[in-house]
Structure 1
């Protein structure tokens, strides 16, 4: 049962748990029972949630994952989510995939709002569990001292990239955002040692993003991957990986929540950089505020007078 996951790829993770149940300790048997009883819930749960549900501890969960051949709970969750997703795919409609099974076409908006918040909150909690704060510290220190910072993102990840770059820019960091491969490669080619390149990609498999970050790394820049998959191609070539949470799903609500998780990491990095550049950041923010003060509405114009 301790064979690597790839060695038993023909057997699903849930079946492997069933087959090896007799080899487990009493504590790990409780974990196995909880996973088999509700695999979809296990795929959504944090390590703390699963420990509570199974009446065990996070350490037991970690040992259970390693017994199955996984590096940690995040990898096991992906495997469970992938398997349960395949099993239910034939029952899903276009609505299920694009909106989500948790939201019905006749649901009132207050229930829709609560469902979205529930999904987002779960992702954000998972991100808190997954994120390596020492890695955030390293990235923030490098950006605070960098001559130039490039931020890359395409498709939906371009939103995260733009938010990250704008946060840096507002606090006086020389940062550029690139969402098109030719422009990004041209910019990456002029980076050098001491510069930083950050690439956002939930899946970590976008070919263009991998190419952009690889070019930046070849020029000596510190390369940073912001992704939900720590063993993805983009993470493999990055010097530092910042992991956000994501479910292995095509549901629209889950994809939006994954983006929100990345935005949380982006905000944390931006604030950590601002803390390290406090005098310069304060001056930059104040200078920008003074520059646009004449274009802000007065109380009279806000009320429609004058």
Structure 2
């Protein structure tokens, strides 16, 4: 399938999302495009290469990295997105109560929009997760004597799912809902630990601070976030990026979008599944053991 043509995800959102996986040269191009996308629709490949201090072949590689066939097609996509007013504006108007739903939507429209956003999120998450980063994350999970989790708000749903998944297959997990105890718990982590911070915006103070402290303690750190330029990324050894439709700034309630949580849950389920199939014997034993423990809780 020609992903450059068929992928309906915002081209600017795709660049921002994938930038975190790029090498420094490609990242410079991504930053330049995102800084002033309106200038890109009329720039030549030679001028862009000069401005980013890269070769023209590197610009071509960048375009292919974001699933577009050619530089000319890339400029067309940028121009089309800007003309539609869909340039990932940082603020969402007050008329939106959930993603792109407004007071003008009826029941049928709401059903369609929510279903479409969920389906698109799952597809975008699948296409955007870097297999190399997933491999690193699974290796870190295998090596960890304990997995410490840090999150706030709706990202707690992701953590609850992770606790259920990984504890059932025998991994020791650490998580505290009390903020003070959660911060203190970072002092118990060390070189054999894995600290996982989950934050859609990547800017949640307690989550970022926890990951930073865990890293100082020698723990391996993993961030699950949507923004490659967010503070949490600076303290993460491994990053897994999820798609989002919201800006990194703007009304706080939009940072709690349930659509972004679907992507986080998907990432955890992928990590769990990869770990379980690579440790199949012990995973099955853990599932059977925990099934016995929980059997009395059900009719």
TM-score by length of 1: 0.70
1:213-228 aligned at under 5 Å gives the runs 213-228=211-226
Instruction: Identify which range, 17-26 or 120-129, moves more after superposition.
Output: 17-26
**Distance in 2 separating the partners of 1:129 and 1:146:** 28
2:80 to 37, 49, 62: 37
Q: Equivalent residue for 1:52?
A: none
2:278 is the counterpart of 1:276: yes
Rate the CA distance shift 1:104–1:213 in 2: closer, same or farther, 3 A. Answer: same
User: Does residue 211 in structure 1 map to residue 192 in structure 2?
Assistant: no
> Could you say if the C-alpha distance between residues 144 and 40 of structure 1 is closer, same or farther in structure 2, counting changes exceeding 3 Å?
farther
Q: Distance in 1 between matches of 2:254 and 2:205?
A: 22
Q: The residue matched to 2:240 in structure 1 has which SS?
A: strand
Distance (whole Å) between structure 2 residues aligned to residue 284 and residue 153 of structure 1: 26
Match of 2:71 in 1: 28
1:194 to 189, 192, 195: 192
How far off is 1:198 after superposition?
Answer: 0.3
- RMSD over aligned Cα, in angstroms? 3.3
Please point out which of 151, 154, 157 is paired with 1:156: 154
- CA deviation vs aligned residue, 1:75-108 (integer Å, no higher than 9, x gap): xxxxx313xx55xx6xx4x332x22444555512
Within the candidate set 226, 229, 246, 2:227 is matched to 229
Deviation at 1:35, TM superposition (A): 2.6
Contact 2:200 2:225 in 1 (8 A): yes
For residue 175 of structure 2, give the secondary structure of its aligned residue in structure 1. Answer: strand
**Where in structure 1 are there 5+ consecutive unaligned residues?**
44-79, 298-306
The aligned residue for residue 240 of structure 1 is 238
- Output the CA distance in 2 between the equivalents of 1:122 and 1:39: 21
> What is the match of residue 117 of structure 1?
115
**CA distance 1:8–1:224, change in 2 (3 Å):** closer
Contact 2:183 2:206 in 1 (8 A): no
Q: 1:21 to 1:141 in 2, by over 3 A?
A: closer
Equivalent residue, structure 2, for 1:71: none
Measured against aligned partners, the alpha-carbon deviations of 1:213-241 in whole angstroms (never above 9, x if no partner) come to 11111111110001111221111111110
Q: Report the counterpart of residue 107 of structure 1 in structure 2.
A: 106
Say whether the 8 Å CA contact 2:223–2:236 is kept in structure 1.
yes
Q: Higher relative CO (CA 8 A, sep ≥ 6), structure 1 or 2?
A: 2
Q: 1:295 to 1:40 in 2, by over 3 A?
A: farther
Asked if the contact 1:157/1:201 (under 8 Å) is kept, the reply is: yes
SS of equivalent to 2:120: helix
The higher radius of gyration belongs to: 1
Tell me if 1:81 matches 2:93. no
Note the residue ranges of structure 2 that are not aligned, 5 or more in a row. Answer: 1-25, 49-59, 61-68
Between the aligned partners of 1:130 and 1:41, the Cα distance in structure 2 is 24
Change over 3 Å in CA distance of 1:124–1:39 after alignment to 2: farther
1:278 Cα offset (Å): 1.9
Could you tell me whether the CA contact under 8 Å between 2:201 and 2:255 is conserved in 1?
no
Instruction: Tell me if the contact between 1:141 and 1:276 (Cα under 8 Å) persists in the aligned partners.
Output: no
Equivalenced residue count is 249
The 2-side partners of 1:280 and 1:27 are apart by 47
Aligned 8 A contact 2:197 2:211 in 1 = yes
Deviation of 1:32 after TM superposition, in Å, equals 2.1
Give yes or no for contact 1:161–1:199 (8 Å, CA) kept in 2.
Answer: no
CA 1:252–1:238: 2 relative to 1, 3 Å: closer
